Amino acid sequence: MAAGKRKRGRVLTVSGRNKLNEAIEAWKRKNKQDATNSSIAGEVPHGMGLETVSKIRQGRPTDLTKIKDLFASLNLDLKDDDYAYPEAGSARETEPTEPAGEIEFPQGQVALNSPLYIERPPIEQRCYQTVMRPGSPIRIKAPKQMGKTSLMSRILDRASEKGFQIATVDFQIIDKAVLTDLDRFLKWFCAYVGRQLKLENKIEDYWDPIFGSKVNCYDYFEKNILAKTDTPLALGLDEVDRIFEYRDIAEDFLGLLRSWHEEAKRNQTWQKLRLILTYSTEMYIPLDINQSPFNVGLPVELPEFDRRQVQDLAERHRLNLSGDRIEQLMDMVGGHPYLVRVALYHLADNNTDLDALLKNAPTEAGAYSDRLRRHLSNLEANPDLAAAMKQVVDSESIPLKPTVAYKLNSMGLTKQQEGDRVRVRCRLYREYFRSHL
């Protein structure tokens, strides 16, 4: 720093931000309330302005004594590597206050300790409350890469903190061969859950062909899994819609899940089971209303981010984007969490500015080129889907067959409107597929 140049406060580094966010999350759980700037400011013994709390949390330059006061109020020890000088010219909209290499690339679920997870109130708190209730499934529905798995992992983490056993089944990892036979699938399911809970595999002891696969699965789950623990079991079933295309298995397995929910109403052993399901869209195969798990428990439909949430996420990327610039970004990609994060990552990485990013977005030279090509390849492999998507991008909204609408919605390319009408999800997809289909 040049001699005599004023030091403009300090900013939190990645380690400092993670430490602060973890402490705030712990504060939220302890006090059972949202961690607003007002509530956090109230923890500082001598008081602190809301703007000061906001600046610290957003990574804007703040007086070091204020950062120390905030850390102390949360019983944190501020280390030298928790803060740094802001770089010169921090008012530029694409300048992060820390090395770009430390910014998380948007891929897969958002880690539990990540500062980039954006809550969508009151969804998280309702889920945390529901998982504590016996026999209350949680059903999280949203297109791909909207944050279903990230939310589920946080529900399971909260359950674990309360002493629950937890297990997760990702339906994307199941071999196709397993999904061709109900008996084999249910054996796999029981064994896989048991392995995560470190239970001995006793499938053959409980599997009697006289009773059929579903009764055997029920018996095994009750006696060799639920009966083996004194605490509830939170079981996450991720990407359940993977089995929808295997109709026979889907109908029997989903009916089994519903029967477990009904059993919990009269059986204390089954009250230990807390199911969390994620899926992209409703099953397009009709299910008996009394055999479906999709009309019981807590329904959660994840919305896109609103303008305030996108602004918050931009600030967590250490970007100084005005309200008008946020609107420009959302005009291209909407509030889709993954699409927004890709844009912010590239801006924070300092390899482009917003004008260039938006200009190139629907092209092969843009930040979304790999994703767009994958979608195009999937559509071209299914001519009916490609033809339907072509109709969608050329219209404001159109009616589609339920099976076609289901597939396009689950891919995240379209949005369901009233009745059977759909429209394209965002301008990015409209512009790209208009020129490629």
For residue range 409-425, list pLDDT tens digits in order.
989 999 988 878 999 99
Q: How many domains, the chain? A: 4
- Quick check: 430 pLDDT over 90? yes
Does some domain include residue 129?
Answer: yes
pLDDT of residue 245: 87
Average pLDDT, stretch 50-69? 81
Q: Characterise 419 by phi-psi region: left (phi > 0), alpha (psi -120 to 50), beta (else).
A: left
Q: In whole angstroms, how far apart are CA 312 and each of 58, 115, 319?
A: 8, 11, 10
User: Domain check: are 149 and 181 in the same one?
Assistant: yes
User: Domain check: are 208 and 293 in the same one?
Assistant: yes
User: Domain check: are 356 and 375 in the same one?
Assistant: no
User: Domain check: are 375 and 342 in the same one?
Assistant: no
Does some domain include residue 112?
Answer: no
> Which residues are 421's β-sheet partners?
399
User: Domain check: are 329 and 180 in the same one?
Assistant: no
The region of weakest confidence among 55-69, 163-177, 291-305 is 55-69
What CATH number should be reported for the domain holding residue 227? 3.40.50.300
The model's confidence at residue 18, banded by pLDDT at 50, 70 and 90, is: confident
User: Domain check: are 74 and 211 in the same one?
Assistant: no
Judge whether 113 and 18 are in contact, CB under 8 Å.
yes
User: Domain check: are 336 and 278 in the same one?
Assistant: no
Percentage above 70 pLDDT, the chain: 91
SS3 375: helix
The pLDDT tens digits for 287-312 are 677 778 888 999 999 999 999 999 99
Q: Choose the final residue of a domain: 301, 325, 340.
A: 301
Q: What residue has token string 């937890």?
A: 166
What CATH number should be reported for the domain holding residue 31? 1.10.260
- Quick check: 8 pLDDT over 70? no
User: Domain check: are 270 and 327 in the same one?
Assistant: no
User: Domain check: are 260 and 331 in the same one?
Assistant: no
User: Domain check: are 133 and 247 in the same one?
Assistant: yes
Cis peptide before 122 (omega within 30 of 0): yes
Q: In whole angstroms, how far apart are CA 407 and each of 139, 238, 401, 422?
A: 19, 18, 10, 12
Give me the domain span that covers residue 385: 370-436
User: Domain check: are 133 and 190 in the same one?
Assistant: yes
Q: Please tell me what DSSP assigns to residue 221.
A: I
Does some domain include residue 110?
Answer: no
Does some domain include residue 109?
Answer: no
Q: In whole angstroms, how far apart are CA 387 and each of 204, 236, 307, 315, 435?
A: 49, 36, 33, 40, 13
Does some domain include residue 114?
Answer: no
